[in-house]
Structure 1
Amino acid sequence: MTSVWENLTVDARDPARLARWWAEALGYHIITDRPDEVEIRQSADKLPGLVFVPVADGKQTKNRLHLDLRPADQEAEVERLVDMGARHVDVGQGDVEWTVLADPEGNEFCVLREREE
């Protein structure tokens, strides 16, 4: 028997705010909105989701796990995400074909180039 990937949990100082940011970034919907957790998914019946839970402390170091986004237009998507509040970050990636950004609470994620057919 194998497991099904249900959620990725993200610690957040302000879970509701960060969940709304990611929902807008990904075109997801808020499925659960409680003080102890906010969950977003593509739709209520589609897994996996992202669950944001409250923590008292801010992010301290580079993420050990991060999301990779693959848009149809990398440059336009990076611009859109930065306009939404993401920022460029250097995690030691060097000269690569993807762009590393951080969400409003500093969680790194990558925006990849368009997939070549």
Structure 2
Amino acid sequence: MTLEWEQVNVDAADPVALGRWWSEALGWVVVNDDREEYEIRPEKDRLPGIIFAAVPEGKTIKNRLHLDFRPDDQDAEVARLLALGARHADVGQGDDVTWVTLADPEGNEFCVLSSRRS
């Protein structure tokens, strides 16, 4: 048996707005612009993708699954994401960590890791 990772599903109040935000944040392309299931991918035919699906309820607690990103320049990337509309998030990570926890416009947490050292 083999499995291929197809996508991550993200519940959203506004799938189009959130999908557009992540598309810009990641530099990914839109492969489905449906209002109920908006999908982005790194390239049109490259997996995995992210689907933003409409749900009636809002986010109430910390995500149990989140994405981590490793940039070339952590400070520059955090500044860029904040300028796009992300905000700092406190999920109990403390002050002595090497990553920065942010939240997207709907409150979904993700981390910007420190730059890799050679």
TM category (shorter chain) comes to over 0.9
RMSD: 0.7
Per-residue CA deviation, residues 26-49 of structure 1 (Å, 9 max, x unaligned), is 000100011220000011110000
Structure 2: gaps spanning 5 or more residues:
none
1:59 aligns with 2:59: yes
Equivalent residue letter for 2:90: D
| 1:101-112 matches, cutoff 5 A | 101-112=102-113
Is the partner of 2:79 in helix, strand or coil? helix
Is the partner of 1:75 in helix, strand or coil? helix
Equivalent residue letter for 1:74: Q
- Over 3 Å off, 4+ runs: none
Equivalent residue letter for 1:40: I
Q: Provide the identity percentage.
A: 61
Aligned length: 117
The match for 1:27 is 27
Shift of 1:87: 0.4
C-alpha separation in 2, matches of 1:5 and 1:60? 27
C-alpha separation in 1, matches of 2:34 and 2:90? 34
Per-residue CA deviation, residues 48-91 of structure 1 (Å, 9 max, x unaligned), is 00000001111110000000011110000000000110000110
The match for 2:85 is 85
The match for 1:115 is 116
Question: TM-score normalised to the size of structure 2?
Answer: 0.97
C-alpha separation in 1, matches of 2:4 and 2:88? 33
